[in-house]
Structure 1
Amino acid sequence: MKILIADDESLARSVLKSILQELDLPLEGLKEAVDGEQMIEQVKRYAPELVFVDIRMPKLNGLEAIEEGKKFSPYTRWVILTGYPEFSYAQQAIKLGASDYLLKPVDPEEVKKLVNEARRGNTEWLLNRNRQFESQIADLYQGLSSLQQEDQESFLLKAHFTGAVFCIDSNLIEVAKAERRRDFLQTLHTRLDHTVVSELRQALFTLSSGESALVVAWEPTRYIQGKQYLSTLLYPLKELYQQFNDNNFCITILETDDCSSYNELYEKLNCIQHFSLLRTICGIGKTLYIADLVQYTTQQELLEVCSILIKISDCYGKKTYLSFMKALDTLESKLCENNTLNHHTKTCIANFLNRTVSCQLEAHQDTTCWKQVLQACGEELLIDEQKKDKQDIVDQVVSFIDENYMFEIGVGQIAMQLHVTPNYLSSLFHKKMGMTFMKYLTHVRMLRAKELLTDSKLSIQEVAEQVGYYSSRHFTKTFTELFGYYPSDCRKKSIKSGALRLTEETVTKN
C-alpha cells in the first residue's frame, strides 16, 4: 500500500509516520510532503492509495490540494488532519470527497481503523475497475463495441497493453480436460484478484478460438511503474502455470510484446491465435513470445506439419480411431518430405506427441519408428472403441466420410482398419443410417458438388475431381440421377438467381 503524509509540521509528520510503521502494513511506499504543491507532485508521481492531508499548509491549503489531486488520482482516499478550530474546514473537505478526518493529536487506533478501511475500499474499487475493463476488452475484441464509441479521454485510447494467450494440450479425455482447464482458470482468476494494483488493469476473457487470454494495461505516463508491477504480477503467475503442468496436462503461454495501442494488441493477439499451432515445433509447457512464432510463419511446409500434429492430438483426445490413423499417414509423408528437421525441432515434436498421445518418442528415432509407436497408440483407441456401443462405430465411419469424401474410400478399406468384416460393417451402417455406405458417400459428394457449382470459376471437370470423381461423364450421370437436372443447369440456376438478386437490389436502391 502506498501512503502520503502532507503536513508542514515536521513533528506531526514524524508522529504519524511512526504510527503507520508500527502497524506492520505491507507498505510499498511512505512519502511525505511539506506543502500543497509538493503534495500534488507526489500524487502525480506515485498515485498513493491513501493521503493524510493537513488543512492548513503553505502554497495550497488542504482543501485546494485535495480538489487538484483528485484530477490526477481519482481512486485515492483522502483523510483530513485537523485541530478543533478547523472543524468546519474538515466538513467542507468531506463534501469535496475526503473519506474521513483525524483530530490532532492523532489516535493510533483511529489511524489503524482508517488505514484498514482504505485498504478494503481501495481493493474493492480496483476489482470493480478490473471487471469493467474486462467487459470493455471482451466487447471490443468480439466486435460488440468500437474505439470510435469511446470518449477521447478514455483509458483505452491512451493505454499501453500486453497480452498472453493460454494454449492447453492434454492426453486426457475431453471431459477431464475441460474440468482441469476450468480449475486452472478459476485459480488464475483468484490469483489475479489477490494481486490488484492501481498501476495496472487486468482482463481475463475467452477468445473466438476458445482459448483464454490475459490482457494487462497501464497509463503511458506511468510506464516505468506499470512495467515494474507487470513483472511482479507475471512471475508468480508463471509459477502457477507450472503447478498445473504434468505429463497429462500442459499449458503454453504465448505472449505479445508491449503494444502502444489497442489496435496493435488486437493484431498481435490475432497473429498469436493464427500461429499458435507453431508451439508444436517451438516447445510446449513454457512461455513463447510472438517473435518466436513469427520466424516460422512463412515456412509453409512446417506449418502443414504443425497442423497435422494438432489434428493427431485432437483425434486422440476425441478417441476417433479412423481419423487418427489417417492423420498418422499424412504426418509420415510430411516428415519424409521435411527430412532436414533439426534436433531441437524433432525434440519439440516428440515432446508434444508424448504429452498429447501418451507415447514415448525420442528425437533420435527415425520416422518409421515414430509411426510404429503412434500406431500402437491408435490400436489402443480401437480396442476402446470395440468396447463401446456398436452405434459409435457407425458414427466414426460417418465422420470419416464427411472428412474424406474427396478421396477413394470404400467400406472394405474402413472395415479392415476397424478389424471387422465388410459385411458386418455394411450391415451396421445400413441399420443406423437407413441407406448403404455407397449411397451415403454419393449423397455427401453430390451435396458438396452442388455447393461448388455455385462458383462459376470451377469447370464441371474440376468440381467432379474435388468430390472424388475423375470421370466428368460418370459424375454428370450420378448428379442427374440424384437431382433430376444436369450440373450445368444447376450452375445456370445459380447465375440466374444471383442476377435476379442483383436486379432486385438495384431496383430497391433506385
Structure 2
Amino acid sequence: MNIRKIIIADDESIQRNVLSSVVRKIVPPLTEIEICVNGKEAFEKISKGGTDLLITDIRMPVMDGMELISLVARDFPQIKIILISAYQEFEYAKSAISCGVSEYLVKPFRIEEVRRLLQKMDEEIGEQRQTTETQNQYENLLHQFEKDNQQKALAALLNGQKPPEELQAFNTNALNHPGITILIRWNIRVHSEIISGTFSAGSRQKSPALLSGLSDYQQERLIKRLHILFPNGFFVPQEKGMDVSECRIALLLPGCDTDDSVRFLNKLAEECSSEQLLFWAGISALQDNLLSRLPQSLQQAEEVLSYYFYYPAECGIFSYADMNELFEFPMISISGYETAIRKAVHTGLDSQLTKCLADLKKELLKDPLKYPIKVKHRISSMIVSIVRDLDGMITQQAYDELLNEAYHLYGGCSTFEQLFSISLELLKRSCAYFTQESGQYDAVEDIIAYVKKHYTEDISLSMLADRVHFSANYLSMQIKKKTGMSYVSYLTLLRTERACKLLVETDRKVADIGTECGYRDSSYFNRIFCRKFGLSPEQYRKVHKKC
C-alpha cells in the first residue's frame, strides 16, 4: 500500500474511535494512524512530516476543518484530504472540494465506502509519488552534473591551477571574501587484505585501523552532519593516497572564522565520539580573500591535519592559528640513536635494538610534538639505511624483497605507532639476517630441527619464517641449501616416512595414520602417498608386511 501515514481529526470521540477502527482493519499493519481532537493538533502533527492522507471533520473546536484544509492545501499540497460531512453540510462540503479536498465521506458512513475511498486515495498517492520520484531523479541528475562541474573547478583552484575553459563559467564570487579551508579526514571499512602496520614477516594480515573504520551508513551520517553545520560551505572531495581506507574532503567556508569552526567541530566531535564516528579536521588560518588564497589555505589545513599521526584513536581538531608555532621547532638529532641501533643489529643483539628504538620513541613523544612528516621521513630513512647494510650479504632476491617491503609499508604508514611497529619488525629481520650470515646462530638449522619435531602439525612456511624474521622466499632457499630439497618436499618426506613405519608396524586405520602424520584429509593423504611410492597406503602395507 502507498499510504504510509494517516491523520484522523474529529472532536466526537465515538465517531473518531469507530472511524479509526474501520480504517485500521482496511490498511496494512505498518500504516501509521494518528488521532487528533481538533484542527490545530492535526496541523501540528502534519507539520512534522510524513503524512499522506488527512481525514477530517468540518466542525471542530480551536481550529475547524475548513481552516485546517486551507492551511494543509497551502503548505502541504501533496497530502490527500477526505472531508467528513453530514447530509445537511453537503453543499458546504462541495465548496471545500474546490479548495483542495480530494473526496468527502458522508455521515453516517459505511465500511465499504471507507474502503473505496482509501483504495482510490492509495492509487492517486502511488501515481503522484511515481511522478515526483521521476522528476526528482531528473533534478538529482542535473544537480549532480552541476555539482561535479563545480567540484572540478574548485579542485583545480585548490591545486593552484586555472579551471578548464568549459568550467570557468562557475561563479566564484561567493569565495571572493575572507574565509577558511577545513580539511576533514576519516577512515572507512575496507575488506581487502593489506599488510598492516603491525605486520609479521612473510604474512599478510588485515589492518586493525581498517577494521575500525566507518561503515557506509556512518559515513553518510558524518557527511550529513557536516552539511548541517556548514550549509553555505563548498565541499570538495580529495583524492585517496596509498592508504585505501582514508577519505578526505575539503570544506571551503567564505564568511566563516577560525573560532566558530573550532567550536562547531569540537561539538560535533563530542557527539560523534559517543557513537564511535571518528574524524579529524585541519583548519587553516583566516584568509583575507579565500578565492585568491585557496592553495595556501589548503596547505595550512593539510599541515595541521597531519598531527592526526599522534591521535589515531580519538577525534582531533587541529587549528593552524593555534599550532603554527610548532612548525618552527626543529627535528631533534637522532644520530646517537642510529649509531646504537645499527650496532645492535650488526651484532645480533635483538633485545638491545628493541630497547634503543623504545628510547627513541619515548624521546620523540616529548612536548612539543615534532612535525609528523619530518618524524616519519627521518625514522624511515634511518631504518632503510640500516636495511641497506645487508646489500651483498644476502641473496639479491631476499635483499630486494626486504627493501621493497620497507618502501611499501612506510608509504602506507599513517600513525606514530605504526611507524615504530614497522621499524621494529624490519630491524628484527635485518638482525636475523646478520646473525645468520655471521654464523653466530644458524636460524635455518633451528627451523629444520623445529620441523622434525612438529611435522605432524599444521606448520606453514610463512609461520616458520615469522619465527626467525626471514621472508618466506629466503627461508625456502636456505632450507633447500641445507636439505637439498624444497620445504614442501622435505615436509612430505618426514610425514610419509612416519606413515610407512606406522603402516608396517601397526594395524591402525589408514585415515588415522594420515591424521597422525599431519594430513587431516584422508583422500589427500592417499594421493600424496601414491605419488611418492607408486602404491596406495593399503597396498604398501600388504606388500611390506609379507616381507
Normalized against structure 2, the TM-score is what? 0.34
RCO comparison, higher one (Cα < 8 Å, 6+): 2
Give the TM-score, by structure 1 length: 0.36
- Which has the larger Rg? 2
